[in-house]
Structure 1
């Protein structure tokens, strides 16, 4: 995600999934309006129609593999909820227990080290069982890029240099170091790192707040970005930790950060741009996921943020680049770029565009509203329900909990 600088804080509380990236356990469109500024979730349906519309029995799409699953459990698999590493909140637990959310994002900053992080991860993975998500393990993710963007620090975690500094290493050296960083993540139950950044910054880095100004770019040429981001990915993958290339189709040319500004627009990038091509080598290695940005690309789809754009998700990422893995959004909960849409509509739009995993990282209080809106839409729209099932299948396949195609 497009992370800003954040102060270090300490871990206050007390979740397992160990290590093998993905051999894990095998086991209404409406007029935009500002979101409510409530500090706690209202656990009611997002739309009045949800109470009056019967819930159809989902049709299993792979030899009865959906037998026994409720619609709500299917929907929960396509969400990833944030839990603060310094102040875990009940609403994050509620999302897993009550809304069947099947994926977790460790959010914030801690310098307390590996032991309390492992306890936090264990406490959440212990919530998963037959009453919630049919014993399917959680994807547990975080932002462990290095430099300004490193959630987990302290004993048991290396101090990871920024991407700019990582790019000074040879790809072989970087791969070896990244393997060690991946082992540290696996040891605390993290099986997905929302990294590396593959955005190509081809102008003044200081004028690019989300990437260049934070030293998150692996150099400033296509060759440097691809060789070093690919090495980072290979290192983590060798340790059993999946990666998420970000922020497709690139944030290297925007002049505002989608986290704290609205209307962030790239007016330069085209569908066949060199800044899009840098993602192709990373995608060729079949990463677990690719993150789609929330910026608007006026020369690709001027009407929608990328995460809401079927042109970007289905046309470019799936079609042009042939990517078959998970597509995850940048944060849709607290980013100002998407604040004009109600939370439920953000989730529906992203899934309708072809996204598989909706990231609700910064503000977990909106998770229930998002899940309820998707359930409501799926009950009344068979085509949308089919998209949700397809997305959930990809999530479960990434966890090793779905029949291989």
Structure 2
């Protein structure tokens, strides 16, 4: 082979493996353009809603205290002014009407420090025998059993009742009742519910429809509803407000009385009130409001992640065997978020002191307090 042929073969070999192209020849392919990776977004820092709050302020969010519906309690006004009370409850009866009630409420809300979580102002506006507010601007609300007869119209009626509350400054209604009474025949012997026709019916579906419509109307009016009294007071005889040792022997973890809360609470924002009865088939050792087993049932099986409030822990006969301080500590330790001190607010200081002292001495309990305060403050912000 000649020298020229060998040289030609070498040139062709270089061309085939890209050697000429690498030198920038005209036939070279353009270098692929690399796309720079998209920058990773900087996560928005999560602001803890209770950051910057003192222990006294956090503990204050865990209480709702009663004031007469006709007058502002000066001691409670002072608590609000310090940012150390999260809610008030208008108790008793008032026939003064919307404007007079709004004046009572303003005595509290006007004193709330700037930047504080909003004040929850609650009352019992169920209807029938349980209607705190009446007079000019307030409709007379029928019993739950009568409300249920309205069918599809009930939501609109409840919206009107909710607007009346909102006009008076009330933003939480401790209603509707979600208790299931066994039958019309047993209702008269069921003192807390059936005897006053507070039930929406005698089956899970009837109660779900009636209580659900009432709650939807409240939400439409800007008022937060409260389903009560978990896990049910439809099968007991005595009333926990006036009797001690009240025990339910019927309701268990899979009862309709428990199951009804799943759909009700999934439909929109609400509170759930825990009763003070003892439930033999769930936890025979303590009233529901003091029972981690009952609270766990609500959180895990029902799936409720909102704010849990107790029934009244101030004057109810059912809880008088415990000191006021122990009542509050036991409820919060069990998983309750708000202790209701509605009928006798004079025990509030002892309750607050006990919870504060426990949080100072027990880091685990302090974390429970933080979690409850955080849940309350977040719920207030979400439903403003």
TM-score normalised over the length of structure 2: 0.85
Unaligned runs of 5+ in 2: 1-44
Residue 243 of structure 2 is matched in structure 1 by: 261
Residue 85 of structure 1 is matched in structure 2 by: 69
Q: Distance in 2 between matches of 1:80 and 1:66?
A: 18
Post-superposition offset of 1:135: 2.5
Post-superposition offset of 1:211: 0.3
Q: Distance in 2 between matches of 1:260 and 1:65?
A: 39
Residue 361 of structure 1 is matched in structure 2 by: 342
Post-superposition offset of 1:167: 1.1
Residue 312 of structure 2 is matched in structure 1 by: 331
Contact 1:81 1:95 in 2 (8 A): no
Post-superposition offset of 1:202: 0.3
Q: Distance in 2 between matches of 1:316 and 1:282?
A: 15
Residue 331 of structure 2 aligns to a residue whose secondary structure is helix
Post-superposition offset of 1:145: 0.3
Contact 2:49 2:378 in 1 (8 A): no
Which of the pair is proportionally richer in helix? 2
Q: Does 1:281 align with 2:263?
A: yes
Unaligned runs of 5+ in 1: 1-60
Q: Distance in 2 between matches of 1:63 and 1:317?
A: 28
CA deviation string 1:2-59 (max 9, x = no partner) = xxxxxxxxxxxxxxxxxxxxxxxxxxxxxxxxxxxxxxxxxxxxxxxxxxxxxxxxxx
Residue 180 of structure 1 is matched in structure 2 by: 160
For residues 101-250 of structure 1, the aligned pairs below 5 Å read: 101-129=85-113, 134-170=115-151, 172-203=152-183, 204-250=186-232
Residue 52 of structure 2 is matched in structure 1 by: 68
Aligned residues: 337
Query: Aligned in 2, Cα 1:158/1:110: closer, same or farther, shift over 3 Å?
Result: same
The structure with the larger Rg is 2
Residue 317 of structure 1 is matched in structure 2 by: 298
Contact 1:99 1:368 in 2 (8 A): no
Post-superposition offset of 1:65: 4.1
CA deviation string 1:67-104 (max 9, x = no partner) = 43111111001110111113543333244345711111
Q: Distance in 1 between matches of 2:169 and 2:102?
A: 6
From 304, 329, 350, the counterpart of 2:286: 304
Q: What's the Cα RMSD here? A: 1.6
Residue 377 of structure 2 aligns to a residue whose secondary structure is helix
